[in-house]
Amino acid sequence: MIPRESSQVRGETFLWAKDGYYLMDIHREAGVDFDYDVLIIGAGVGGHGAALQAVARGLRTAIVEYQEMGGTCINRGCIPSKALLAAAGTLRKLTHTEVFGISVGQVSFDRAKIADHAHQVVTKIRTDLTKSLDKLNVKTIHGKARLTSAQSVLIETAGGPLTVTAQDIIVATGSVPFVPPGIQVDGHTVFTSDEGVRLDWLPQHLCIIGSGYIGLEFSDVFTALGCQVTMIEALDRLLPGFDPDIARMAERVLIKPRGIQTHIKTLAKEIHPGSPVRIVLADGREMTADAVLVATGRIPLTRNLGLEELGLDLGRRGFIPVDDHMATPIPHLWAIGDATGKMMLAHTASAQGAVAVDNICGHPRTVDYQSIPAAVFTHPEIGMVGLTEPQAKEAGYEVATVRTYFGGNSKAIAQAETDGMCKLVYAKDTGVLLGAHILGPEASLLIAECAQAISERATVQRLAQVIHTHPTLSEVLEEAYKRASGV
């Protein structure tokens, strides 16, 4: 590598590589020797993404983890839940084959084997992640870290306390389920997603508190496995974070036909584990269920990390304040992932990790949150990116919308999967795409095209000229772009 030029970032000197992009820092402060260039606290997907980028940038990298490697996503989140949803989807498919003239006879399942499949997937992916870090010579330290300064941590390891210093520290400590006061969790009859993904048993009647994406995904799994589900939502509509049209259609497609009873504007004030579980509502009424899944959001794992002692204000909710470069107000201290509360998704966390490292290396970069897609892996799926219609209006745009339906899509008709819609939100004056919301088969994949379009700030007029393969589900998007641009 032949250095081409140097630049100053935060008063430190960086040498740029010949290609102008890959750069190696020489940012040692005079007289200070650090154990590592970068130390990451938390080996979830955020920490992992940061570590990969740090190695690619030539930094001496260490990562600290006190639980299983892989964090929430791999051990208790995305991965086990998607394994369970894959089983649920297979069951749903097998019970709807008559339309194709196929009969499969009696379909049965083994709960323990479904749970075991999810467990094995988790183990494999966690092992792969751990090996990938070892292979890249990232030093993994097992223990609980606490910051003693912006450039040093004290780690409680099995062998005793260990002080480690680094030029820059990235906090990637993630989040845990939020359990409102008054709700007692015993992990068996009243549980959160942490235990839910283990699928330890199948309650006849499961009550899910909260109708966000986690509650919705679990309702898909448990109803496919024959459980009766009730959903309790404190706000005045189901799926409060979703575009209202998609929320309404989700209710029509994913909730009502499955016999899920719903209660909105209903606050579960107390929940007492037992057999049955007793649920006391805010208005004094009582309900019972065989089990309760508490899916009321997640809170950051940022207390007792030494952040407040360093002068960081975590606010009431505990999220670490960061700017668009993932820098905290304290020099050399960075934060990424769920701990920042920016957009609590796995791919956001790892993208933030890469951005933090690039900024550490003096290659300024920010995260474009508007183009980060999200998906709910129900059957059918939901995919979304950018602004909802109310958000776009609130942001001051003169908003136009267009809707197309899977019921008019040849491929969806051929697959007998015609439930669903696509809604585009765009600026009326410029045609710039502001948001896309899809409920339908493969929505998690289809939304990637819209994410790319939003990342380029593309107009519906330009998108309408992109030719899509026929017959594919992606033609719902082509039709929507064309309608929006009036061609």
Ligand X SMILES: Cc1cc2nc3c(=O)[nH]c(=O)nc-3n(C[C@H](O)[C@H](O)[C@H](O)COP(=O)(O)OP(=O)(O)OC[C@H]3O[C@@H](n4cnc5c(N)ncnc54)[C@H](O)[C@@H]3O)c2cc1C
Minimum distance from CB of 65 to ligand X (Å)?
Answer: 5
Q: Are 209 and 333 in contact (CB under 8 A)?
A: no
**Residue with structure tokens 């379009």?**
453
Whichever of 47 and 435 has its CB closer to ligand X, that residue is 47
Window 380 to 439, contacts with ligand X (CB under 6 A):
none
Whichever of 169 and 249 has its CB closer to ligand X, that residue is 169
Whichever of 273 and 373 has its CB closer to ligand X, that residue is 373
47 binds ligand X (CB under 6 A): yes
Whichever of 312 and 399 has its CB closer to ligand X, that residue is 312
Tell me, by CB under 6 A, how many residues bind ligand X.
Answer: 36
- Calculate ∠ Cα 76-153-362, nearest 5°: 90
- Calculate ∠ Cα 379-46-137, nearest 5°: 125
Whichever of 71 and 380 has its CB closer to ligand X, that residue is 71
Minimum distance from CB of 304 to ligand X (Å)?
Answer: 8
Binding span for ligand X by CB under 6 A among 65-73, 91-99, 114-122, 463-471: 65-73
144 binds ligand X (CB under 6 A): yes
Integer Cα distance of 85 and 356 in angstroms:
33
Minimum distance from CB of 376 to ligand X (Å)?
Answer: 8
373 binds ligand X (CB under 6 A): no
Minimum distance from CB of 91 to ligand X (Å)?
Answer: 19
For the beta sheet containing 268-272, the strands, ordered from the edge strand earlier in sequence to the opposite edge, are 268-272, 277-281, 286-289
Minimum distance from CB of 266 to ligand X (Å)?
Answer: 23
Minimum distance from CB of 72 to ligand X (Å)?
Answer: 4
Whichever of 82 and 111 has its CB closer to ligand X, that residue is 82
220 binds ligand X (CB under 6 A): no
**What is the pattern of x (binds ligand X, CB under 6 A) and - over residues 295-324?**
------x---x-------------------
Task: Report the relative pairing of strands 152-157 and 381-386 from DSSP bridges.
Answer: unpaired
**What is the pattern of x (binds ligand X, CB under 6 A) and - over residues 180-199?**
-------------x------
43 binds ligand X (CB under 6 A): yes
Window 320 to 359, contacts with ligand X (CB under 6 A):
337-339, 344-347, 349
Q: How many CB atoms lie within 10 A of CB 303?
A: 11
Window 153 to 182, contacts with ligand X (CB under 6 A):
172-175
Whichever of 193 and 219 has its CB closer to ligand X, that residue is 193
Minimum distance from CB of 381 to ligand X (Å)?
Answer: 10
Helix axes 45-56 and 111-135, enclosed angle (nearest 10): 30
Integer Cα distance of 190 and 185 in angstroms:
5
Whichever of 189 and 192 has its CB closer to ligand X, that residue is 192
Contacting residue, 25, 36, 62, 65, with ligand X by CB under 6 A: 65
Q: Which of 334, 313, 314 is nearest to 324 (CA)?
A: 334
52 binds ligand X (CB under 6 A): no
Binding span for ligand X by CB under 6 A among 58-66, 261-269, 274-282, 391-399: 58-66
Q: Which of 254, 216, 169 is nearest to 374 (CA)?
A: 216
In the residue annotation, 332 being an active-site residue is answered as no
Integer Cα distance of 252 and 262 in angstroms:
12
Contacting residue, 78, 91, 190, 250, with ligand X by CB under 6 A: 78
211 binds ligand X (CB under 6 A): no
Q: Which residues of 461-486 are buried (b: 16+ CB within 10 A; e: fewer)?
A: bebbeeeeeeebbbbbbbbbbbebbe
Q: Are 47 and 63 in contact (CB under 8 A)?
A: yes
**Would you tell me which residues interact with ligand X (CB under 6 A)?**
41-47, 64-67, 71-73, 76-78, 81, 144-145, 172-175, 193, 214, 301, 305, 337-339, 344-347, 349
Catalytically active residues, by annotation: 470
